[in-house]
Amino acid sequence: MGKLFGTDGVRGIANRELTAELAYKLAQAGAAVLGRGIDRPRFILGTDTRISSDMLESAMAAGLCSVGSNAVLVGVVPTPAVAYLIRHLNADGGIVISASHNPAEYNGIKFFDSRGYKLEDDMEEAIEEMVINGTGIKLSDGQNLGRKTAETGGTRYYIDYLKSTVSGSFEGMKVAVDCANGASYLAAPSILQELGANVRVINNKPDGLNINVDCGSTHPEGLASFVKEEEAHLGLAFDGDADRVIAVDGEGRIVDGDYIMAICGRRLKEQGRLANDTVVATVMSNLGLHRAMEQAGCRVEETRVGDRYVLQRIREKGYNFGGEQSGHIIFLEHNSTGDGLLSALQLLESIKFFGRSLAELRDTMEKFPQVLVNVEVENSKKDSYRQDRVICSEIDRIESQLKNNGRVLIRPSGTEPLVRIMMEGQDAGQLRLYADNLARLIESRLT
């Protein structure tokens, strides 16, 4: 058994790579690490809508109970709801069973500590070592076993809290929503309707297999068409576990995380609520975000890809806002992790604040063309491009051609067997040619 944790928890094809046995062991190890020194610790356990979530939920509940921990099952809820409920219900940690934006055959396991934060690397490594080596797990018996309980009010608690983060209502706004047949299918339409918006919904009928299928934040083109059909003011597309959001303006144009950060960052700056006048973003964020923030009197600080690293920098430096182009946005004032529903509400709040449409606000940031290409590579070879002289030489050649008007970023995916190529510059056609040629080279050298 190799390394278990990737960029965002443990993921794999359910019942092949991520088995019930592995989930059981991860729950035991997670309870041992997070509940160390606590008498009968309590853990919130939430899921998304995948068919495999029931199997894994049962295995993890059993694992928690087997080591004397109590499992509080909150059912299908957005991932950030679990982060909030840990604090609201005074739990000692939380576990989410979800593979986020991945296809239905995958599933994943994410841990949160008692403050609702994703775990630091050293804690994940401690859990991993226990699972792999089979050490450090102390089974309970008799009256020391844990119990499983159901908390049916979790979604309601979460909705009520999110409503408190915005002022007034969104009456007069017509909003189209794509729930990706995932964890937001109840919460997202409910909270927007309760805040007065005129809501139109698609992909809110999960059947266990249709999560993320040609819908949600990774496929916003369907929502773009729906926005125009319904003549909505804007659209909001969530991913399978609703920790990210991508918007669509009234003209059907995509408004990704960079645009959302530019819009919300400027509002926070004008309200005096942007800590150190800094937005934290990843190396994948567009150069246009940097320019827009500079014009607003702010700066952008970069991290490696992954919302956990954005959060880590936010906490280290005393910042309070940042995110990813993919739609993971962190408003630390309100929640401890990327939160799609919270971000959606804050975007609507910004539209109210500026008194302008989303289309108008989108145009305040000029985006540089970016080309993204994925190359399928075995997990064991994803990092090999760094040692391949031919590949490195080609990357250097492309960068010299782009000079100071663009960049090349190559990175192995933390969750899938892919090497991701991103190129940014002024000429989209040229970038596509460079990216496709580099993708073919990587494929020929590493597969």
Per-residue pLDDT at 447 exceeds 80: no
Instruction: List the domain range (segments joined by +) for residue 16.
Output: 5-152
Cβ atoms of 15 and 54 within 8 Å: the answer is: no
pLDDT(251) > 80: yes
Of 196, 187, 234, 195, the residue nearest 339 (C-alpha): 187
Q: How far apart are CA 95 and CA 97, in angstroms?
A: 7
- Burial, 359: exposed, middle or buried (Cβ in 10 Å; 0-12, 13-18, 19+)? middle
Check whether residue 118 and residue 255 sit in a common domain: no
Mean pLDDT of 399-421: 84
Regarding whether 403 and 267 lie in a shared domain, the answer is no
Active site residue 100: yes
Quote the pLDDT of residue 113.
97
| 160 within some domain | no
Q: Which of 69, 100, 217, 350 is catalytic?
A: 100
CA distances from residue 192 to 196, 265, 267, 360, 430 in whole angstroms, order as listed: 7, 22, 21, 22, 42
Domain boundary among 303, 336, 362: 362
CATH of the domain at 425: 3.30.310.50
* Domain end (from 92, 125, 152): 152
Whether 263 is covered by a domain: the verdict is yes
The reply to whether 105 and 249 lie within a common domain is: no
Q: pLDDT value at position 2?
A: 52
Q: What is the dihedral of CA 338, 246, 210, 197, to 10 degrees?
A: 100
Query: Band of the pLDDT at 21, cuts 50, 70, 90?
Result: very high
pLDDT reading at 428 higher than 80: yes
pLDDT at residue 181 greater than cutoff 60:
yes
Whether 383 is in a domain gets the answer yes
Top pLDDT among 414 and 349 is at 349
When pLDDT is averaged across residues 152-174 and rounded to a whole number, the result is 97
Is the pLDDT assigned to residue 134 strictly greater than 90? no
Residue 158 lies in a domain: no
**Burial code of 82-93, b = ≥16 C-beta within 10 A, e = fewer?**
bbbbbbbbebbb
Mean pLDDT of the chain: 94
SS3 186: coil
Please state the rounded mean pLDDT for residues 224-246.
Answer: 98
Strands 174-178 and 198-202: parallel
Neighbours of 134 (CB within 10 A): 10
Residue 97 and residue 140 in one domain: yes
pTM of the model as a whole: 0.89
**Cα–Cα distance for residue pair 366/426, rounded to 1 Å:** 11
CA-based R_g, the chain, Å = 22
Same structural domain, 184 and 319:
yes
Alpha-carbon 173 to chain mean position: 26
306 pLDDT higher than 90: no
Indicate whether 325 and 236 sit together in one domain. Answer: yes
Residue 94: pLDDT band with limits 50, 70, 90: very high
Q: Where are the alpha helices (DSSP H) in 78-141?
A: 79-88, 121-133
Residue 1 has pLDDT above 70, yes or no: no
Domains: count for the chain: 3
Whether pLDDT at 248 is above 70: yes
What proportion of the chain, given as a percentage, has pLDDT over 70? 99
Claim to verify: residue 204 and residue 334 sit in the same structural domain: yes
Residue 382 DSSP class: T
pLDDT digits (tens, 9 = 90+) for 356-397: 999 999 999 999 998 989 998 887 777 888 888 999 999 999
Residue type, 129: E
Q: Among residues 346, 362, 378, which one ends one of the domains?
A: 362
CA angle 382, 313, 241 (to 5 degrees): 65
Of 268, 357, 383, 254, which is closest to residue 320 (Cα–Cα)?
268
252 contact partners, CB below 8 Å, separation of at least 6: 224, 225, 227, 228
Question: What mean pLDDT is predicted for residues 115-133?
Answer: 94
